[in-house]
Amino acid sequence: MNSKLVNNLLKFDREHICHPYTSMKDPLPVYPVASANGVRIRLMDGRELIDGMSSWWAAIHGYNHPELNRAAREQIEAMSHVMFGGLTHRPAVELAEILLSIAPAPLQKIFFCDSGSVAVEVAIKMAIQYWSALGFAKKQRLLTVRSGYHGDTFGAMAVCDPETGMHGIFKDILPKHLFAEMPMAGYAAQWDERYIEGFKKILAENHESIAAIILEPIVQGAGGMRFYSPIYLKRIRELADEFNVLLILDEIATGFGRTGTMFACEHAGIEPDIMCIGKALTGGYMSLAATLATEKVSDGISSGEAGAFMHGPTFMANPLACSIALASVRLLLSSPWKEKISAIEDQLKEGLAPCAEHHNVQDVRVLGAIGVVELKSPVNMEKIQKKFVDRGIWLRPFGRLLYTMPPYIIEKEDLARITGAITEVLREGGHV
Ligand SMILES: Cc1ncc(COP(=O)(O)O)c(C=O)c1O
């Protein structure tokens, strides 16, 4: 690729294009990508990087997958999009059928939307509209925990961790919800009922104004990559029933096998009233998400004055995205995904174990195909990113977290290169 073209691209990008959470005045460097195939991302200068991020939990089958490509091509030949008001189509119906067959059994209604954040907005609106329809107009607030992340739109932002979710900047416009302390029991911790006391107290005191509890099940992702006890989640389900509030689970990051079960709520053996999915839904090909609900919730909503759920995006159930998602879910179900994720888990545990010895490491943890090295001090993103790129690895550390969630198709040797690079970069230092 000619270097003048690359430089021009980078110059325009730097001067005009926003990147996620990046200064527009003094942006961090970005690496121009020419193509991606399997677990390899090829940069425009010809270098190849092993992907340790699955493009933020999404590309579970790797890039440029022939079956997903075929689904996209065939669907484009038929139709890329038609409106969903008054029309329906096979990709949406078949995708809905397969999703409802793998989701927790009581979830039998599905709302397709554009992105994870919108799926969360839809979930919140469903919960509030449900109670309003039943005559509980006061039930409008949400209860959640600190260190959570649910997206960047206003409704979603209002249930993100108050600090990392920037509640200070938007304080006059964000709805005021309730926050309990973050779950303190780690995944395998011995259960102590005191872990849930604070949460229970807030719920007991405020349940008359609470429509729903919203949580990321088992793994708190962007808010700190923390794994918490399935018993905590089980107790939350019980408390939601006891105090008559709905339970919304945000499986946008954890869904489709990432934690070792199809959905993370299965670790706790519980079922939500409303569930959000996204990210890996299309195998990382395009943006599509969905909010699933029980009959109880959907019947409640439809019995209200409005008579219908009040939401309807232009690109709802986009046929192209639905076809690719259908191919992606079928591909997952036809693969030995459980064994593969369990093998990745074992290898991550072994490969990252030496990091625990490092003086700047607070904790090393692994769950399913997620490996996390939590440092004691924040990394310098630019420096550390370059160190990984120089070693042929694509990772995107943030704050005090070095983490990987590779595509499920990754081979042993490539995963060893990722864990090896993390260990080496830590040992080498100069990244904080
Ligand atoms: C748990 C969770 N919920 C919601 C979202 C928002 O999804 P999107 O970025 O597709 O809007 C994310 C994205 O990182 C997420 O991890």
- Tell me the pLDDT tens digit for each residue of 347-379: 999 999 999 999 999 999 999 999 999 999 999
Q: What's the rounded Cα separation, in Å, for the pair 164 and 154?
A: 14
**Which stretches of 347-416 are assigned E, i.e. beta strand?**
361-367, 370-375, 393-394, 401-404
293: pLDDT strictly greater than 80: yes
Q: From atom 2 of ligand 1, which residue's Cα is the shortest distance away?
A: 150
Give tens-digit pLDDT for 119-165: 999 999 999 999 999 999 999 999 999 999 999 999 999 999 999 88
Q: What's the rounded Cα separation, in Å, for the pair 122 and 128?
A: 10
Rg (CA), the chain: 22
228: pLDDT strictly greater than 90: yes
- Write down the pLDDT at residue 430: 76
CB of 149 within 6 A of ligand 1: the answer is yes
Q: Which of 273, 279, 387, 414 is catalytic?
A: 279
326: pLDDT strictly greater than 80: yes
CB of 151 within 6 A of ligand 1: the answer is yes
Q: What's the rounded Cα separation, in Å, for the pair 181 and 147?
A: 8
Rounded to 5 degrees, what angle do the CA atoms 149, 155, 157 make?
35
CB of 55 within 6 A of ligand 1: the answer is no
Quick check: 257 and 337 in contact, CB under 8 A?
A: yes
- Write down the pLDDT at residue 270: 98
Active-site residue flag, 114: no
Beta pairing, strands 48-51 & 393-394 = parallel
Active-site residue flag, 228: no
